[in-house]
Amino acid sequence: MPATKFICPDGNCVPIEDCLRGCPNCQRCMFLPTLRAVANSLDRQISEPTVTELIAGTRETFLKKTTDYAVDPASILYAIHGQAVHSINERHTQGEILSEERLKDDITSGQFDLFGKILDTDEGVLGDLKVTSSFKLMKALGIYKAKVDTGEVYKSGVKKGQHKFRSELRFDGVRDILDWAIQLNYYRLLLNRAGFKVNRMFIQAICRDSGLRIAAERGITKSVYVIPVYGISDLWLERYFRHKAKALRDAIQSNTLPPVCSFRERWGDRKCLGYCPARQNCPYAQALVNQKENDFDELKIPA
Residues that bind ligand SF4 (CB under 6 A): 57, 59-60, 63, 260-261, 266, 271-272, 276, 278-279, 282, 284-285
- Cα separation of the two ends of the chain: 47
Q: Is 207 helix (H, G, I), strand (E, B) or coil?
A: strand
Question: What minimum distance in Å lies between the beta carbon of 284 and ligand SF4?
Answer: 4
Question: What minimum distance in Å lies between the beta carbon of 282 and ligand SF4?
Answer: 3
d(CA 91, CA 109): 23
Question: What minimum distance in Å lies between the beta carbon of 57 and ligand SF4?
Answer: 4
Cβ closest to ligand SF4, residue 57 vs residue 73: 57
Question: What minimum distance in Å lies between the beta carbon of 133 and ligand SF4?
Answer: 18
Q: Is 24 helix (H, G, I), strand (E, B) or coil?
A: coil
Cβ closest to ligand SF4, residue 64 vs residue 218: 64
Cβ closest to ligand SF4, residue 137 vs residue 285: 285
- DSSP per residue over 236-262, as a string? HHHHHHHHHHHHHHHHHHHT-PPPPPP
Closest CA to 270 of 248, 281, 249, 285: 285
Give the strand order in the sheet containing 109-116: 98-104, 109-116, 125-132, 200-207, 224-228
Question: What minimum distance in Å lies between the beta carbon of 130 and ligand SF4?
Answer: 20
- 262-281 burial code (b ≥16 CB/10 A, e <16): eeebbeeeebbeeebbbbbb
Element (H, E) at 154: none
Question: What minimum distance in Å lies between the beta carbon of 274 and ligand SF4?
Answer: 10
d(CA 72, CA 56): 20
**Cα-to-chain-centroid distance, residue 71:** 15
Q: Is 160 helix (H, G, I), strand (E, B) or coil?
A: coil
Cβ closest to ligand SF4, residue 12 vs residue 286: 286
Cβ closest to ligand SF4, residue 85 vs residue 257: 257
Cβ closest to ligand SF4, residue 207 vs residue 272: 272
Cβ closest to ligand SF4, residue 185 vs residue 280: 280
Question: What minimum distance in Å lies between the beta carbon of 139 and ligand SF4?
Answer: 18
Cβ closest to ligand SF4, residue 24 vs residue 259: 259
Question: What minimum distance in Å lies between the beta carbon of 299 and ligand SF4?
Answer: 24
Q: Is 65 helix (H, G, I), strand (E, B) or coil?
A: helix
d(CA 127, CA 129): 7
